[in-house]
Structure 1
Amino acid sequence: MAGRKTKRKIGKLWGYLALIAVAVLWTVPSVGPGVIAILSAFVVLYCLFQAPTWCCATTRKGEFCRNNANGVLLGCRLRQHKWQKLKMAFKEQAPAKALGRMLSNMGGVAASLSAVAGTVSAGVATVALVVK
């Protein structure tokens, strides 16, 4: 039986398990595209708002914040960092800077690539559902 720490770790990483499930469901012909689209949407939401990453917001010294954060779009426990990362996603030239920061650590790379894969999967499943 799994211990409490193992269950907590799996609870934090459920989105990556869902991404694996999406990849497996694409190979099963009896599963409809609606199920895949919904599960892919959950993967994207997980990566954007819950995946464990570093904050990477700019500190007062001009360095990256190394506090733990949730998701690609949210910052750490500091209120200014939460708003700074969210604003960077929607400012005119800031998305390239934000992408560079997100890809500066392994957690950010995993979350970013999983979000892209989930978005592509959800799009393809939605098109398959509409065309069907």
Structure 2
Amino acid sequence: MWRKIHSERDPRDTLFAELNREFGAYANRVGFYIKAFFDKSPKATFGIMAAVMLISAALSFTIFRSRSTPSHVNVAGTAAPVSSGFDELLQATGRIRETLHLKRLVDSLSNKKELTSNDSTALIHALDRLQQLNKH
């Protein structure tokens, strides 16, 4: 299998620590100048902050505003009212119930060894009605 690689690196040596060691003097110098500017002129700092906020607000309401165009939906027909949907649902439920009833009837009649003329007629009518329901 693979051999385990052992690293002899000091756990305190990270990327951030190395970057800080290399460029820390420059970052500290820039931070010192910024802090000196803030301490020397707090009113100018507040003015710059307020101006940046106003510019940001103006840009967000003008240039960066999302101009979503309304999508045109082509409606093929008129929408059916909710009551017709319930009517269709009730009709479908009725057809399912009738189908189950007819299937039970056909199963019970097909399990009989001998059919009478009434049984034969009932079986023929049940099968015809099942065909009509399946076409629907």
Does TM, scored on the shorter chain, surpass 0.5?
no
Q: Which bin holds the TM-score, normalised by the shorter protein?
A: under 0.3
TM-score (norm 1): 0.26
Q: Relative contact order: is structure 1 or structure 2 higher (C-alpha 8 Å, sep ≥ 6)?
A: 1
Larger Rg: 2
TM-score (norm 2): 0.26
